[in-house]
Each structure stands twice: as C-alpha cells, then as structure tokens.
Structure 1
C-alpha cells in the first residue's frame, strides 16, 4: 500500500473523529460511528473492474460518487435524523476529491 493510500484511509477515520469531538463531544461515539457509515458508499467500488485501482479517481467514476448522489448527501444534512450520516458522506466525498487532486499532482 502506498503512503498516499494509507494516509487517505487514516483520514477517512480521523476527520469524522475530529468533527465528532469538536461538535458532538457529548455523544462522540454515536456521532463518529454515524459519520464513519459514510464508508458505505464505497460499496459501489464492487461494480468496477478492477474493484480497486490505486490510480483511479472515484469522483465521477463510481455511481455513489457522482454529482446527483453528492447533492442527495447534502440534502441529508437538513433533517436532524440523517444529518450526521449526510455529513459523513460529504466528508468521505471531500476526502476522495482531495485524493484525486493528490494523484494529479504526484
């Protein structure tokens, strides 16, 4: 595993943890777990061949990483019941976008 890939995976856990600690400290565990559920959108990688390609940008390629899906995640932040999951999904996509930029610069 490349350093970029390792950092990318760590950030997918660390950024939601930091957000949960900063904004939902009184219910940190629940907030962190709901935001970590944003990893569920990576199930769409199972539709690709190969499933994992370290040099492929997932934004715009995988169905759950497209603009309509991202808009739906934004809407999920409006109702209180889905807010944390929506934030987790948006954080996930944002980190994937950063990874795409990192790939282009490398």
Structure 2
C-alpha cells in the first residue's frame, strides 16, 4: 500500500504559497512579476540532480547540496540587495528558509 507523507507535500506547497504571499504583500502593483521571479528561485533545486539518490525524504538539503551551502546563501543575501536582482534574491532566501524549516521538522 502507498503511504502518504504530509511533510514533503506541505513543504512543496509552501514553496509556491510563500513567494506568492510575499509578492502580494510587499509589491501589490507588481505582484505577478515579483512572484514569478521568486518562484524562479526554485531553480536552485537543480543541484539535487547531483545527489544519489536524487530525492531522499530524510535528507536535509542545507549544507548537503552545493546550492544549499552557506557560501551560496551569502550570495543569495547579496542578490536581495540590488533592485535589479531583489525579487530573485528574496525568492532564493525564502527557498532556503523553507528548506531549513523542513530540516528542523525531520
């Protein structure tokens, strides 16, 4: 029988909902564009393709995958400062925070 695990599904849903809510709250006039840039930050999960297995439900991404390391996170914080890259940088930071919360819940 197939087991349903709530945590991983909830985690994925939050990766969509949180950027949408942040965009709507902070950039109401441009929320769609802001949300798309923040959702594009999901691209950092491409580093999961380097892992074996690609998906391991009990593995914490932070510190394991190359784009989820502290030096990378420092770059994301830097990207959140300039106006041109702010939405993407914030999206990356939201992604990392959500992954960090997921790690705590494991």
TM-score range, shorter chain: over 0.9
Is 2:103 the counterpart of 1:77? no
- Across the aligned residues of Structure 1 and Structure 2, the Cα RMSD in angstroms comes to 0.6
Gaps of 5+ in 1: none
1:2, distance to aligned residue in structure 2 (A): 1.3
Is 2:46 the counterpart of 1:35? no
* Number of residue pairs matched by the alignment: 103
1:28, distance to aligned residue in structure 2 (A): 1.1
Is 2:98 the counterpart of 1:95? yes
- Could you tell me which of 10, 15, 19 is aligned with 1:16? 19
1:38, distance to aligned residue in structure 2 (A): 1.1
In 1, distance between residues paired with 2:9 and 2:24?
22
Give the alignment's TM-score, normalised by structure 1: 0.95
Q: Higher helix fraction: Structure 1 or Structure 2? A: 1
Moved beyond 4 Å, runs of 4+: none
1:47, distance to aligned residue in structure 2 (A): 0.2
